[in-house]
Amino acid sequence: MHDLTGFQRDLLFVTCGLDEPNGLDIKDELEDYYGTTINHGRLYPNLDTLCEKGLLDKRKQDERTNAYSLTRRGRREIVDRESWEHQYISELLEEEAERAH
């Protein structure tokens, strides 16, 4: 996952959190998070790249729409990334949890 852009990583995380989303579902989630419009020329080439890298599967949902899901490798990459991040922020997360109580 080290060779992915931040946008591509976000695409993986959003796809993981939705049930076989189509491109517009993913786009809507990221636009909510980013607070800005994501154009099709950015979204679909990046989804295709993730498919080519074996991180996402793409299947026909209907004549005009594709649905996306994580591959086994994509799931493993997300778990590995989350573990790597967690080693650096675990103290911060613990402190925030204590403050919430």
Residue partners of 73: CB distance under 8 A and separation at least 6: 54, 55
Q: Is the four-CA dihedral 53, 4, 15, 41 of positive or negative sign?
A: negative
pLDDT at position 80, please?
94
pLDDT at position 22, please?
97
The four Cα atoms 40, 13, 19, 41 give a dihedral, to 10 degrees, of 10
Q: Which domains does the chain have, with CATH numbers?
A: 6-100 (1.10.10.10)
The whole-model pTM stands at 0.88
Is 46 in contact with 8 (CB distance < 8 Å)? yes
Q: Which helix (H) or strand (E) holds 54?
A: none
Condensed to tens digits (0 to 9), the pLDDT of residues 5-51 reads 999 999 999 999 999 999 999 999 999 999 999 999 999 999 999 99
